[in-house]
Structure 1
Amino acid sequence: MKIKETPADDNGCGWFHLSPPRIARVARQGHVRARWGVVGAGLTGLAVARQLALNFPDDEIVLLEAQEVGFGASGRNSGFAIDLPHDIGAPDYIGDPATAKMNLKLNLFAQNIITSLVAKHGFDCQIKLAGKYQAAIEEKGLRVLEAYKSGLDKLDQPYEIIESEELPSHLGTSFYRRALFTPGTMLIQPASLVKGLAESLPTNVSLFENCAVTAVDYDNPIVLTHANGTVAVDKLILSNNAFATQFGFLKGRLLPVFTYASITRPLSAEEQARLGGKPVWGVIPADPFGSTLRRTPDQRLLVRNSFSFNPNGKIDASLLARAEATQRRSFENRFPMLPGVKFDYTWGGAMCMTRNHSGHFGELGRNVYGALGCNGLGITRGTGAGTLLADWLAGKRHELIDFLLAGDGPNRNPPEPFLSLGVNANLRWGQHRAGLES
């Protein structure tokens, strides 16, 4: 099977360029034989490879990444490691309480893995338990906060309602009318996290970077072809999200939805004083199509909004300028006290969404397995599902493994061209309806 599309992200990701430099691992030339192969060295793939290495210390695990670690989707998100259920398909972000409780356990499981690895290996990814603000300006956004509040009550989770007059002391800006603060979210520099995880892999993991798979033969063994040779494995794990369809699995079930972000230069001491508020915070919008904001430890401001559906899984660079203009308007609406602060970087990044907000966990085919479709929760969902998939392959049992195996899996999408027309129309309409939240 020929692989027709491989990742090709833009070069503007601020997180990647601001993270510690490292030397990419070169693929071994010629023929490599290993028991395990993992495709995709994002958060899921790194978690799978690490846990496989610990479960099978005598086996070599080959981890193949089409680009450089940290350059792809896992290094391009907004850096929210959310503890709470975050089901954007449910009016209260919670959905079914029993399912929500298991998702809460999964997210906390993943948070604990991340904090333990950061502490053990001592790499700096600006990790901070800062919580998150879900903020609203319009009436429909305020109604969402009320619904979210009721969902949190069902789960007996802590929160704080912050009214407009108090918000400037938290965020600096007086733009929002109300926010719901939850304390359990960790804020992270995502590219630094991914690079740190890659540099601390067990010694029996062989990482091949800039090593796109161009063909796969599902014989016994499975043979992966790349530019410099082949890798033959007994068992293959796909952790490459929407690109799993290029390998023949979950075709017509995954949706590569791209979001766009810009990050400023560092604020001067005078600008920080003018802004006020807490030195580190994160805001997610009450409306899913609104703007996400970050104030980073190095005193930059990030704005993320704008969406597009790119069925080939690749960034559309022509949309970057339009997204930057939208983010400039959003920035000026929220931070009129900072008129001279420009963006240093603008980039796009993919989320692997599914119509029913359910991912895939488990077997895909004979000797092929996957943890795919994080639905916008890549840091926690990817880390947790990747670790648990490796444990399941080692014969271990856990209530979270049973929970993931029992999932519905991704729904089938409508056929093209109706899919692209429908998804992009819905994205444009959602952004329009978001109003001032965008």
Structure 2
Amino acid sequence: MFKISATPKDDAMCGWYHTAPARQAKPAHAGEKHTRWTVLGAGFTGLAAARQLALNFPNDEVVLIDAQEVGFGTSGRNAGFAIDLPHDIGADDYIGDIDIARTTLKLNRLGQTMLHTLVKEHGIDCHMRPSGKYQAAIEDRGIAVLEAYRRGLDKLGEPYEVIAGKDLPRHIGTAFYRQALFTPGTMLLQPSALVKGLADSLPSNVKLYENTAITEVEYGDKVVLKHKQGRIVTDKLILANNAFGARFGFLRHTVLPMYLYASLSRPLTGAEQAQLGGKDFWGVIPADPYGSTVRRTHDNRILMRNSFSFNPRQQSRPDCLERFAHNHRQSFERRFPMLPEVGFDYTWSGSLALTQNHKGFFGQLAPNVYGALFCNGLGVTRGTVTGALLADLIAGKRNELIDFLVADSGPNTLPPEPFLSIGVNATLWWGQRKAGLES
């Protein structure tokens, strides 16, 4: 048996989870179960993989396992942007190789289409809207990033609008930013509500077990998954648990378990909404990667998301929550001086599975074991599409997008400790310091 050294344990105050429609969690697994298919991780990737496996093999039961309650973990903790455009931060123009960029665009838009179709078909109450996104800057470095990205979008032939700072208040209320680049293809949504809705609309041949943390695994002709209340024996295992996939004996020393922090305000009063102005629903991402993501939500709250920590043990850190809530307050006050009495109802952390070369893994890991892992911050669209396409690959299907994913080189190997932690923490410190007012 291979012992799993860490399991998900997220903090309790995720605003998206608590403001999403309530649902009844499925019971944890107990006893012994034999099955053909098991998907580990009921986030965007795992939900998509289980759904597509069930459609590809309608006479088989597909077991889907999550260590926590659906909607409580990583997929319910992001900022709620379903982004279509590629954004290669390693390229001068943020687009890079044009052929790779065009295929990435197809992947992301297929993920969007899958989600939009399911939301409409099942009436999932997640406030999904094709609102576009603003990428905004205040510092000179940020303005340069917008200019570089604009050149990349020209090369890709994608539409955008450059919005001067003086015109931004009628869009997002605040006059804080000097410039923004608006791109129309992003969908904004309530992520925990979406994940809950996807789980409750799975095909009838998917069996979901929540609050079932796998502690040991044995690989062979059958894969044996052990937990505190029993075990599951499966013919095929699909790892869709993002950064935790590296705890299962594969791709070790390739993923950086980063944590990003967010706060969600109380709802604005009618007078405060009038004081803010602008549109009633929008999202801003920072020009600087270490800057703040900001949203105005369907229920007139303000989301503020910034500040990183490197958590090699993949556990939430209460000391960071307290410290970074103060950062959120400062960032909020800089952007919204007209809302001095608006406080935060929730502050939480969420995991990001980042790799050094910004590449994930897709395909077969070992006999009877497959994986779609490491979304590098694009879990809503990329997780959805790679989960579904992995199920198609397993079913023997091939197409341009599957071939593209299979041919990818995958994540790089990281430096050993203690050099890794020293380097990552130094990079985070300098990046957040250099971000200046963008943070």
Q: What is the SS of the residue equivalent to 2:105?
A: helix
Q: What is the SS of the residue equivalent to 1:151?
A: helix
Whole-Å Cα distance in 2 between the matches of residues 12 and 93 of structure 1? 34
Which amino acid in structure 2 is aligned with residue 179 of structure 1? A
Whole-Å Cα distance in 2 between the matches of residues 3 and 360 of structure 1? 20
Deviates more, 1:406-415 or 1:91-100: 91-100
Whole-Å Cα distance in 2 between the matches of residues 93 and 287 of structure 1? 12
Q: What is the SS of the residue equivalent to 1:129?
A: coil
| C-alpha contact 2:29 2:212 (8 A) present in aligned 1 | no
| Residue 376 of structure 1: aligned partner | 377
| Residue 7 of structure 1: aligned partner | 8
User: What does 1:39-438 align with in structure 2 at a 5 Å threshold?
Assistant: 39-438=40-439
Q: What TM-score do you get using the length of structure 2 for normalisation?
A: 0.99
Q: What is the SS of the residue equivalent to 2:3?
A: coil
1:87 Cα shift?
A: 2.2
Which amino acid in structure 2 is aligned with residue 323 of structure 1? F
Whole-Å Cα distance in 1 between the matches of residues 89 and 312 of structure 2? 21
- 1:256-288 per-residue CA deviation (whole Å, 9 max, x = no partner) reads 111000010000010000000000000000000
Q: What TM-score do you get using the length of structure 1 for normalisation?
A: 0.99
Which amino acid in structure 1 is aligned with residue 386 of structure 2? A
Deviates more, 1:8-17 or 1:90-99: 90-99
Which amino acid in structure 2 is aligned with residue 287 of structure 1? D
1:29 Cα shift?
A: 2.1
- Structure 1, gaps ≥5 residues long: none
- 1:36-79 per-residue CA deviation (whole Å, 9 max, x = no partner) reads 01111110000000000000001111111000001110000000
Whole-Å Cα distance in 2 between the matches of residues 107 and 326 of structure 1? 32
1:393 Cα shift?
A: 0.5
| C-alpha contact 2:220 2:367 (8 A) present in aligned 1 | no
| C-alpha contact 2:136 2:180 (8 A) present in aligned 1 | yes
Whole-Å Cα distance in 2 between the matches of residues 63 and 106 of structure 1? 24
Whole-Å Cα distance in 2 between the matches of residues 127 and 385 of structure 1? 21
Which amino acid in structure 2 is aligned with residue 83 of structure 1? D
C-alpha RMSD of matched pairs (Å): 0.7
Deviates more, 1:147-156 or 1:22-31: 22-31
Which amino acid in structure 1 is aligned with residue 167 of structure 2? E
Q: Percent identity?
A: 63
| Residue 22 of structure 2: aligned partner | 21
Q: What is the SS of the residue equivalent to 2:174?
A: coil
Q: What is the SS of the residue equivalent to 2:148?
A: helix
Whole-Å Cα distance in 2 between the matches of residues 160 and 413 of structure 1? 38
1:316 Cα shift?
A: 1.3
Whole-Å Cα distance in 2 between the matches of residues 250 and 299 of structure 1? 42
Whole-Å Cα distance in 1 between the matches of residues 28 and 79 of structure 2? 30
- 1:193-232 per-residue CA deviation (whole Å, 9 max, x = no partner) reads 0000000001111111000001111022111011221111
Whole-Å Cα distance in 2 between the matches of residues 210 and 353 of structure 1? 25
Instruction: Kindly tell me the number of residue pairs found equivalent between the two proteins.
Output: 438
Which amino acid in structure 2 is aligned with residue 32 of structure 1? K
Whole-Å Cα distance in 1 between the matches of residues 165 and 246 of structure 2? 46
1:90 Cα shift?
A: 2.7
1:23 Cα shift?
A: 1.0
Whole-Å Cα distance in 1 between the matches of residues 407 and 317 of structure 2? 36
Deviates more, 1:226-235 or 1:190-199: 226-235
- 1:108-149 per-residue CA deviation (whole Å, 9 max, x = no partner) reads 000000000000000100101100000000111100000000
Which amino acid in structure 2 is aligned with residue 315 of structure 1? S
1:106 Cα shift?
A: 0.3
Whole-Å Cα distance in 1 between the matches of residues 100 and 336 of structure 2? 38
Q: What is the SS of the residue equivalent to 1:304?
A: strand
Which amino acid in structure 1 is aligned with residue 183 of structure 2? T
Deviates more, 1:20-29 or 1:210-219: 20-29
Q: What is the SS of the residue equivalent to 1:397?
A: coil
Q: What is the SS of the residue equivalent to 2:232?
A: strand
Q: What is the SS of the residue equivalent to 2:166?
A: coil
Which amino acid in structure 2 is aligned with residue 109 of structure 1? L
Which amino acid in structure 2 is aligned with residue 217 of structure 1? E
Deviates more, 1:340-349 or 1:86-95: 86-95
Q: What is the SS of the residue equivalent to 2:141?
A: helix
1:411 Cα shift?
A: 0.2
Which amino acid in structure 2 is aligned with residue 77 of structure 1? N
Q: What is the SS of the residue equivalent to 2:424?
A: helix
Whole-Å Cα distance in 1 between the matches of residues 156 and 425 of structure 2? 34
Which amino acid in structure 1 is aligned with residue 358 of structure 2? H
Which amino acid in structure 1 is aligned with residue 304 of structure 2? V
Deviates more, 1:311-320 or 1:340-349: 311-320
Whole-Å Cα distance in 1 between the matches of residues 377 and 159 of structure 2? 23
Whole-Å Cα distance in 1 between the matches of residues 92 and 240 of structure 2? 29
1:93 Cα shift?
A: 2.4
Whole-Å Cα distance in 1 between the matches of residues 321 and 123 of structure 2? 35
